[in-house]
Amino acid sequence: MAGMAAGTAPETTTTQALDGRTLRSALGHFATGVTIVTGIGTRGRPVGVTANSFASVSLDPPLVSWSLSRESPNLATFREGGRFAINILSEDQQSLSARFARPVEDKFASVPWFPGTTGCPILPDGLAWFDCRVHASHDVGDHVIFIGRVVAFEERGGAPLVFFGGRYLSAPDLYEPDLSEPPSVR
Ligand SMILES: Cc1cc2nc3c(=O)[nH]c(=O)nc-3n(C[C@H](O)[C@H](O)[C@H](O)COP(=O)(O)O)c2cc1C
């Protein structure tokens, strides 16, 4: 690129000039899996939210995290319930993801589930699930980060639902990954 000083990025957006849409678009370059995080409210009412903010945090003790918008009508349930379950979605569960990404009243109508150890809903047919007790929660900006201690989990396998650039993908080369070798990164 003639005339451009080395190291100058022409499309740099400074955080002073930040608008949420541009930042969201840039963040969308990070490909993630998709989860439905579930909880259980008063009188046993199941709640669930599509979330790609899930991350593994620690193996010993076993901790995972996710973050929830402070505008979510389900925030009080997750805060007061002290538990949540992470359900990792398969490539066949795109419509389930879309359903739990809308603020509708009864997301679980005609959705099969069974209670995990904590009572939180476990969805059949996902790749894996992690049933957790809340270890810590932190109000950070416009979200609340929940860190959970895994009390039960199951690995089922299969091809993942992937979210990238604001779209769902199921990449053929993600099929049947070889997980027999321990990962080379820590
Ligand atoms: C792929 C995907 C990932 C999402 N990840 C999150 C997330 O990590 N945290 C969050 O608060 N909302 C996330 N959302 C948006 C929520 O699913 C959406 O706001 C939903 O309405 C929340 O449910 P509620 O309004 O019943 O609380 C995501 C949506 C999609 C489609």
- Residues 55-100 pLDDT 10s: 999 999 999 999 999 999 999 999 999 999 999 999 999 999 999 9
At 19, is the pLDDT very low, low, confident or very high (cuts 50, 70, 90)?
A: confident
**Where are the extended beta strands (E) located within the chain?**
32-33, 35-40, 46-51, 55-58, 63-69, 83-88, 114-115, 121-122, 128-140, 143-155, 162-164, 167-169
Whether residue 175 is contained in a domain is answered as no
Q: Ligand 1, from 27, 32, 47, 52: best to mutate by most atoms within 8 Å of Cβ?
A: 52
Lowest mean pLDDT, pick from 15-19, 62-66, 77-81, 127-131: 15-19
At 118, is the pLDDT very low, low, confident or very high (cuts 50, 70, 90)?
A: very high
Whether residue 112 is contained in a domain is answered as yes
Query: What mean pLDDT do residues 159-163 have?
Result: 94
User: Residue 59 maps to which CATH number?
Assistant: 2.30.110.10
Kindly give the distance from the C-alpha atom of residue 75 to the centroid of ligand 1, in angstroms, as a whole number.
12
Question: Using one digit for the tens of pLDDT, what is the confidence trace for 135-155?
Answer: 999 999 999 999 999 999 999
Say yes or no to pLDDT of 179 above 80.
Answer: no
Q: Residue 20's pLDDT is what?
A: 76
* Residue 44, domain extent: 32-160
CA distance 135 to 92: 31
Q: In the structure, which protein residues have their CB atom closer than 6 angstroms to any atom of ligand 1? A: 34, 49-53, 66-69, 72-74, 101-103, 163
At 1, is the pLDDT very low, low, confident or very high (cuts 50, 70, 90)?
A: very low
Whether residue 76 is contained in a domain is answered as yes
Lowest mean pLDDT, pick from 2-6, 19-23, 125-129, 175-179: 2-6
Whether residue 150 is contained in a domain is answered as yes
Considering the chain, what percentage of its residues have pLDDT values greater than 90?
75
**Count: domains in the chain:** 1
What's the token pair of residue 142? 């416009």
Taking the CA of residue 32 as reference, the ligand 1 atom at the shortest distance is 1
Whether residue 1 is contained in a domain is answered as no
Q: Residue 178's pLDDT is what?
A: 60
**Where are the extended beta strands (E) located within 24-127?**
32-33, 35-40, 46-51, 55-58, 63-69, 83-88, 114-115, 121-122
